[in-house]
Amino acid sequence: MTPLEGIELTSVILSLTFLILLIRENKWCWPFGIVSSILTIYVVYQYKLYSEAVLYIYYVLIGIYGWYVWNNRSKEKLQVKTWSWMTHIPILVIGSILSYLLGLFFLTQTDAERSYVDSTTTIFSFIASYMEAHKIFSSWIFWIFINGTSIWLYYDRGLMMYAVMMVIYFGVSIYGLLDWGKKSGAFLNSQ
């Protein structure tokens, strides 16, 4: 195993720990996510996935923010919430436009690989991470699509451990959707 593969493996283990703790709504998920993200920045940069590197810088910041939000709420537990479908329309439109613009930038200004796919998973991961920090139920729907696409992206770039991690994330995202859906009543309410 090369040193870069060792960093990748460590990051994957920490990422999976983050995800398990997140689903359990354990605030200690955030430090695991922060450290994993720092390691991943180095790895994806080496593979010329620059949007992913930007994304993982954001994950460090959203990890700090999530840690703050989950630690500074009132005495009662932060509840899973739902957003109306109308709230999602501008998010999807703006996210699509930003994905295109970021992809175009990396395609024309760098030697990035798979710039449009990379930028789309990046932009929508920004959105889903923010939603996740606020326990918005539909964040899991975003993650199902993001993780499904990321399986191919990482496989295509030869990052096999990350590709396997995304397969696990994909499955766990379905579980998170079902679990948070029950907690929020989203499957009973049609908003």
What tokens does 70 get?
A: 């989950």
Nearest-CA neighbor of 39 among 3, 75, 11, 74?
11
pLDDT at site 92: 96
Q: Band the pLDDT of 187: cuts 50, 70, 90.
A: low
Confidence of residue 189 (pLDDT cuts 50, 70, 90): low
Higher pLDDT, 187 or 171: 171
Residue 191: what pLDDT? 44
Least confident stretch, 28-37, 114-123, 148-157, 182-191: 182-191
Q: Which of 149, 124, 148 is nearest to 138 (CA)?
A: 124
Q: What pLDDT does 76 receive?
A: 65
Query: Percent helix, strand, coil in the chain (nearest 5)?
Result: 75, 0, 20
The domain limits of the chain are: 3-184
Residue 139, pLDDT > 70, answer yes
pLDDT digits (tens, 9 = 90+) for 64-85: 988 988 888 665 677 888 888 8
Lowest mean pLDDT among 9-18, 28-37, 39-48, 75-84: 75-84
Tell me the average pLDDT across 139-167: 93
Instruction: Name every residue whose Cβ is closer than 8 Å to that of residue 84 and which is 6 or more positions away in sequence.
Output: 191
Give the pLDDT confidence of 81-128 residue by residue, as tens digits: 888 889 999 999 999 999 999 999 989 998 888 889 989 998 999 999
Q: What is the mean pLDDT of the chain?
A: 88
Q: What integer pLDDT is reported at residue 81 of this predicted model? A: 84
Mean of the pLDDT values across residues 169-187? 84
What integer pLDDT is reported at residue 110 of this predicted model?
Answer: 86
